[in-house]
Chain A
Amino acid sequence: MSLDRKLAILSDAARYDASCASSGTTRRDSRDGKGLGSTEGSGICHAYAPDGRCISLLKILMTNFCIYDCAYCVNRVSSNVPRARFSVDEVVQLTLEFYRRNYIEGLFLSSGVVRNSDETMGDMVRIAQRLREEEHFRGYIHLKTIPDASPDLIAQAGLHADRLSINVELPTDRAVQAFAPEKNPVTIRAAMGNVKTHRAASKDRSRTGKRPPKFAPAGQSTQMIVGADGATDATILTRSTGLYADYNLRRVYYSAFSPIPDSTAKLPLIKPPLMREHRLYQADWLMRFYGFNVDEITSTAQDGNLDLAIDPKLAWALANRDHFPLDVNRASRELLLRVPGFGTKSVGRILTTRRHRTLRYDDLLRLGASMKKAQAFITCADWTPGALTDSEGLRARFAPPPEQLSLF
Chain B
Amino acid sequence: MLTVPLPRIGTWDAWRDAARACIAARIPPEDILWNYDDGAGELFATALPPPIVRGTVKVPADFVDMARWVVWHSDPQRFARLYAMLWRLRLDKGVMADRADPDLAKLRQLEKAVHRCKHKMRAFVRFRDLRTGGPRRSFAAWFEPTHHTLEPNAPFFARRFADMDWMIVTPDVTADFKDGTLTFHPGQTKPDLPDDATEELWGTYFKNIFNPARLKVKAMTSEMPRKYWKNMPEAQHIPDMIANAEARVRDMAMAAPTLAPARVARIREQLQDTPQPASWNLLTAGLHDCTRCPLHGPATQVVPGTGPQNAPLMIVGEQPGDAEDLAGMPFVGPAGQLFDQLAQQAGLDRRQAYVTNAVKHFKYEQRGKRRIHQNPDTPEIEHCRFWVETEIRLVKPRLILAMGGTAAESLTGSRKDLLKRRGKVEDTPHGPVFLTVHPSYLLRLPSHLKPDAQDAFVNDLRAVVAKLAA
Q: List 27 A-B contacts (CB under 8 A).
A: A12-B209, A15-B211, A29-B159, A33-B163, A35-B162, A46-B124, A47-B206, A50-B238, A51-B214, A52-B219, A67-B267, A67-B271, A69-B264, A101-B198, A102-B125, A102-B161, A186-B302, A190-B300, A190-B301, A241-B366, A258-B211, A259-B249, A260-B252, A261-B255, A264-B257, A352-B97, A366-B99
Query: Quick check: B99 and A353 within 8 Å, CB to CB?
Result: yes
Top 10 closest pairs, chain A to chain B, by CB: A52-B219, A52-B216, A363-B100, A78-B260, A29-B159, A193-B326, A49-B210, A349-B99, A30-B162, A38-B160
Q: How many angstroms between the C-alpha atoms of A177 and B126 in the bound complex?
A: 45
Contact residue among A58, A60, A103, A193 (Cβ-Cβ distance under 8 Å from B325): A193
Enumerate chain B interface residues (CB-CB to A < 8 A). 94, 97-102, 105, 119, 122-129, 137, 139, 141, 156, 158-164, 180, 196, 198-202, 204-220, 223-224, 232, 234, 238, 241-242, 245, 249, 252-253, 255, 257-261, 263-264, 267, 270-271, 288, 297-298, 300-302, 325-328, 366, 368-371
Query: Quick check: A356 and B200 within 8 Å, CB to CB?
Result: no
A267-297: contact bitstring with B at CB < 8 Å (1 yes, 0 no)?
Answer: 0010100100000000000000000000000
Query: Quick check: B213 and A271 within 8 Å, CB to CB?
Result: yes
Tell me if A173 is interfacial: C-beta within 8 Å of chain B. yes
Contact residue among B129, B216, B263, B301 (Cβ-Cβ distance under 8 Å from A51): B216
The total of chain A residues at the interface (CB under 8 A) is 90
Q: How many angstroms between the C-alpha atoms of A259 and B249 in the bound complex?
A: 7
Q: Closest approach, in angstroms, between the C-beta of B342 and any C-beta of chain A?
A: 24
Q: How many angstroms between the C-alpha atoms of A196 and B327 in the bound complex?
A: 10
Q: How many angstroms between the C-alpha atoms of A52 and B245 in the bound complex?
A: 13
Query: Quick check: B223 and A45 within 8 Å, CB to CB?
Result: yes
Query: Quick check: A48 and B160 within 8 Å, CB to CB?
Result: no
Most buried by A among B196, B202, B368, B370: B202
Query: Quick check: B128 and A101 within 8 Å, CB to CB?
Result: yes
Contacts of A366 in B (CB 8 A): 99-102, 105
Enumerate chain A interface residues (CB-CB to B < 8 A). 3-4, 7-9, 11-12, 14-16, 29-38, 40, 44-55, 58-60, 67, 69, 77-80, 94, 97-98, 100-103, 173, 182, 184, 186, 189-190, 192-194, 196-197, 241-242, 244-246, 248, 256, 258-265, 269, 271, 274, 349, 352-353, 355-357, 359, 362-364, 366-367
Answer whether A55 and B369 are a contact pair too, CB < 8 Å, given A80-B261, A186-B301: no
Query: Quick check: A352 and B99 within 8 Å, CB to CB?
Result: yes
Most buried by A among B97, B162, B205, B241: B205
Contacts of B158 in A (CB 8 A): 31
Contacts of B119 in A (CB 8 A): 44
Q: Which residue of B lies closest to A56 (CB)?
A: B123
Contacts of A37 in B (CB 8 A): 160
Query: Quick check: B98 and A357 within 8 Å, CB to CB?
Result: yes
Q: How many angstroms between the C-alpha atoms of A262 and B249 in the bound complex?
A: 11
Q: Closest approach, in angstroms, between the C-beta of A91 and any C-beta of chain B?
A: 13
Q: How many angstroms between the C-alpha atoms of A33 and B213 in the bound complex?
A: 44
Q: How many angstroms between the C-alpha atoms of A359 and B261 in the bound complex?
A: 69
Contacts of A182 in B (CB 8 A): 271
